[in-house]
């Protein structure tokens, strides 16, 4: 299979110049203007920008155990439609990913997906927060990170031991920062809207407190720590200060935290409920600022598929929203088209930095590199239609949202894995 892309602009290098890319046998053979190779397919790239394939280091694929919500294949279909060519899938499946056998199952099932599926393994056995898993064994079986995401590790001493083990294995721990004693059953951000709706809220302090704890624990054992889905102004400020002190803390946020606030919950739609929850305008602004000033390292989705049936009940629905097919468009809309952020920075946030944090090889559009990139029409306007998504679930907070920027082609191993059809 060979592919010739004509008149394409490269987001990583020079946006003002158009060039051609020739791909053969999975590799980028040549990048230069006016190429004349014959190819199986020629794509007119003149209205697109080429970017390296994105990497989303926080998704939930529900496989094994809840494959009616998503499975590894459909999760990868959603990823490819969003320009995401690599993912880290979280281990809160049923059973949770705490053994080499489950890691092998995931990796085997993902083999022909066209997506680089990198599993995270549990910090604690069965994600019960009681006994650590064997990090060395899980690393050998292909785990790229450790996390009990979905649940915090409540016991600080156990977390400290986990961080020590992670340091020995040169692995990253990704922490879902939440103190369940402070949350006591909250279903959305604790504030004026939760009070008006008469539902229990989740106080920011729950997130801030465990963020601070993780940083202190990591510092004490000289380990790295990655803070998942940062959503509060406090948490972001704690991370900013820790970075200033030289503590190796990194973190991620998701587009919904810099685009929406708890005001959205007024319509009592459970598709706006996730954990951590949408916060207040001052948090939204703080998250946006932290993305722009480099305090936040990565943009992820926390793609968390749930059924329509579950999401029909505002108060009892499980937390989580899907996001793989809207993350780039949302980020372009909120940060690029508003003039706040360059495409280079977005590539760092959504592609290079997450790969770097997980010790994965970088992906660049250059000669002799594997062909792993996306063609994006950054000016294409569209409205998110949940029923048109490629995953199994449609629980998106971006329903009916107008976004600017659309992935037109996703190419991995030199193969067109996704192509947009109007
Ligand atoms: O909203 C969320 N959904 N937050 C989590 O921590 C877990 C996730 C899920 O697995 O549904
Ligand atoms: Zn989480
Ligand atoms: Zn998650």
Average confidence (pLDDT) over 296-323: 98
The pTM (predicted TM-score) of the whole model is: 0.98
Q: Are residues 21 and 155 in the same domain?
A: no
CATH of the domain at 285: 3.20.20.140
Average confidence (pLDDT) over 128-156: 98
Atom of ligand 1 nearest to the CA of 176: 6
Tens of pLDDT, residues 279-291: 999 999 999 999 9
- Look up tokens 């495409």; give the residue: 343
Q: Is 56 helix (H, G, I), strand (E, B) or coil?
A: strand
**Which phi and psi (to 5°) does residue 305 adopt?**
-70, 135
In sequence order, what E strands does 110-151 have? Answer: 116-119
Q: For residue 352, is pLDDT > 90?
A: yes
Give residue 14's pLDDT. Answer: 81
Report the distance separating Cα 212 and Cα 234, nearest Å: 10
Classify residue 362: in a domain, yes or no: no
Tens of pLDDT, residues 247-280: 999 999 999 999 999 999 999 999 999 999 999 9
Q: Are residues 71 and 112 in the same domain?
A: yes
CATH of the domain at 25: 2.30.40.10
- Percent pLDDT > 70 in the chain is 100
Residue finishing a domain among 305, 338, 357: 357
Q: For residue 161, is pLDDT > 90?
A: yes
Q: Are residues 156 and 194 in the same domain?
A: yes
Question: Cα-atom radius of gyration of the chain, to the nearest Å?
Answer: 21
Give residue 331's pLDDT. Answer: 99
Atom of ligand 1 nearest to the CA of 150: 6
Q: Are residues 160 and 202 in the same domain?
A: yes
Q: What is the DSSP letter of 319?
A: S
Q: Are residues 239 and 382 in the same domain?
A: no
Range of the domain at 414: 2-50+368-419
Dist. CA 321 → ligand 1 center (Å): 8
Residue finishing a domain among 331, 357, 383: 357
Type and span of the H or E element at 380:
strand 373-383
Number of domains in the chain: 2
**Which phi and psi (to 5°) does residue 266 adopt?**
-55, -30
Dist. CA 91 → ligand 3 center (Å): 9
Q: What is the DSSP letter of 53?
A: P
**Test site for ligand 1: of 176, 320, 397, most ligand atoms within 8 A of the Cβ:** 320
Known active-site residue 377: no
pLDDT bin (cut points 50, 70, 90) of residue 184 is confident
Q: For residue 13, is pLDDT > 90?
A: no
Dist. CA 300 → ligand 1 center (Å): 13
Give residue 422's pLDDT. Answer: 85
**Which phi and psi (to 5°) does residue 31 adopt?**
-125, 115
Active-site residue, from 98, 149, 302, 377: 302
């Amino acid at each position: 299979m060979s592919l010739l892309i004509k008149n394409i602009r490269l987001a990583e290098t020079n946006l003002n110049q158009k060039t051609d890319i020739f791909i053969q046998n999975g590799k980028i053979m040549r990048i230069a203007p006016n190429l004349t190779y014959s190819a199986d397919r020629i794509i007119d790239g003149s209205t697109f920008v080429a970017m390296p394939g994105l990497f989303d280091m926080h998704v939930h694929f529900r496989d094994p155990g809840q494959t009616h919500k998503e499975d590894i294949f459909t999760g990868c279909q959603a990823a490819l439609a969003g320009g995401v060519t690599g993912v880290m899938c979280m281990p809160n499946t049923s059973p949770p990913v705490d053994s080499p056998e489950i890691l092998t199952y995931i990796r085997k099932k993902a083999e022909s997906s066209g997506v680089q599926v990198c599993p995270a393994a549990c910090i604690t056995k069965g994600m019960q927060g009681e006994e650590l898993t064997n990090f060395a064994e899980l690393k050998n079986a292909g785990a790229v990170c450790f996390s009990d995401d979905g649940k915090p590790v409540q016991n600080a001493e156990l977390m400290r031991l986990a961080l020590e083990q992670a340091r020995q294995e040169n692995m990253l721990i990704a922490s879902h920062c939440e103190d369940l004693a402070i949350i006591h059953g909250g279903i959305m951000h604790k504030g004026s809207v939760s009070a008006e709706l008469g539902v229990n809220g989740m106080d920011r302090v729950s997130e801030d407190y465990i963020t601070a704890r993780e940083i202190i624990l990591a510092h004490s054992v000289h380990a790295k720590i990655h803070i998942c889905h940062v959503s509060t102004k406090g948490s972001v400020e704690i991370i900013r200060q820790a970075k200033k002190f030289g503590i190796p803390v990194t973190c991620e946020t998701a587009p919904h935290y810099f685009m929406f606030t708890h005001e959205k919950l007024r319509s009592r739609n459970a598709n706006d409920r996730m954990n951590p929850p949408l916060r207040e305008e001052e948090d939204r602004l703080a998250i946006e600022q932290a993305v722009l000033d480099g305090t936040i390292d990565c943009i992820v989705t926390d793609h968390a598929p749930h059924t329509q049936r579950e999401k029909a009940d505002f108060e009892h629905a499980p937390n989580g929203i899907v996001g793989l097919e809207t993350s780039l468009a949302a980020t372009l809309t909120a940060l690029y088209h508003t003039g706040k952020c360059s495409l280079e920075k977005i590539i760092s946030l959504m592609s290079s930095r997450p790969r770097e944090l997980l010790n994965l090889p970088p992906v660049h559009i250059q000669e002799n590199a594997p062909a792993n990139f996306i063609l994006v029409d950054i000016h294409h306007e569209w409205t998110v239609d949940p029923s048109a998504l490629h995953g199994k679930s449609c629980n998106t907070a971006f329903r009916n949202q107008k976004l600017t920027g659309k992935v037109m082609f996703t190419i991995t191993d030199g193969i067109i894995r996704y192509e947009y059809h109007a």
